[in-house]
Chains A and B, each alone.
Chain A
Amino acid sequence: MLTRDEAGVVLFTLEVAALATLLIFPLALGAALALARYRGPGKGVLETILSLPLILPPTAVGLVLLEALSRRASLGGWLAARGIEIVFTWKAVVLAMAVMSFPLLVRSARTAFEEVDPRLVGLARTLGCGPAAALFRVTLPLAWRGVLAGTVLAFARALGEFGATVMVAGNIPGRTRTLALAIFHDNQVGRDDRAAVLAGVTAALAFAALWTTELLARRLGRRREE
Chain B
Amino acid sequence: MIEIRVDVPLAGSELRVEARLPAAVTAVMGPSGAGKTSLLEAIAGLRRRTRGRIACDDVVFLDTERGVAIAPERRRVGYVPQDAGLFPHLTAHGNVRFGAREDERRVETAIDTLDLRPLLPRHPASLSGGEKQRVALARALATSPRILLLDEPLAALDVELKERVLPYLVRIRDEWKVPMLYVTHNVGEALALAGEVLLLRDRRVEAQGRPLDLLSSPGLSVEAEAGIENLLPGRIAGHDAAGGVSRVELEGGIPLSVPLAATRPVGARVMAAIRAEDVLVSSAPVKGLSARNVYEARVEGLERTGVDVTLRCALTAAPSPWLARVTPAAVEALGLKAGQPVWLAPRRSAGRRSDRERDCPGAARGEARRRRRCRAATGTRCAGPPPGRRRDR
Contacts and interface: CB of A to CB of B under 8 A. Distances in A.
B89 A124 contact: no
Interface in B60-94: 71-73, 75-79, 81, 85, 87-89
B123 A225 contact: yes
Interface in B98-147: 98-100, 121-123, 125-126, 139-140, 143
B71 A125 contact: yes
Contacts of B89: 141-142, 224
Interface stretch (A89-97, A115-123, A197-205): A115-123
Contacts of B99: 126-129
6 contacts: A126-B72, A128-B143, A137-B98, A224-B125, A226-B121, A226-B123
A138 interface: yes
A40 interface: no
Residue of B87, B121, B122 most packed against chain A (CB within 10 A): B87
A26 interface: no
A128 B41 CA distance: 15
Given A122-B41, A224-B89, 18 more contacts: A120-B85, A120-B87, A123-B79, A123-B87, A124-B87, A125-B45, A125-B46, A126-B44, A126-B99, A127-B139, A127-B140, A128-B73, A130-B71, A130-B73, A224-B88, A224-B123, A224-B125, A226-B121
B88 A126 contact: no
Contact of A123 (B75, B85, B100, B125): B85
Q: Which 8 A-B pairs have the closest CB atoms?
A: A127-B99, A125-B72, A122-B46, A126-B79, A141-B89, A128-B99, A123-B85, A128-B73
Interface of A: 119-120, 122-130, 133, 137-138, 141-142, 224-226
B75 A126 contact: yes
A125 B126 contact: no
A35 to B, nearest CB: 20
A56 B79 CA distance: 48
Contacts of A225: 123, 125-126
A120 B125 CA distance: 15
Contacts of A130: 71, 73
Nearest to B77: A126
A126 B87 contact: no
A225 B89 CA distance: 9
A119 B136 CA distance: 14
Residue of A128, A225, A226 most packed against chain B (CB within 10 A): A128
B98 A127 contact: yes
B125 A126 contact: no
Interface in B309-337: none
A122 B72 contact: yes
Contacts of A125: 45-46, 71-73
A120 B46 CA distance: 11
B180 to A, nearest CB: 15
Nearest to B72: A125
A103 B227 CA distance: 54
Given A125-B45, A126-B46, A119 B123 contact: no
A224 B87 CA distance: 11
Contacts of B45: 125-126
Contacts of B121: 226
Residue of A122, A133, A142 most packed against chain B (CB within 10 A): A122
Contacts of A133: 73
Contacts of B85: 119-120, 123
Contacts of B76: 128
A224 B126 CA distance: 9
Nearest to A117: B85
A129 B74 CA distance: 9
A226 B122 contact: yes
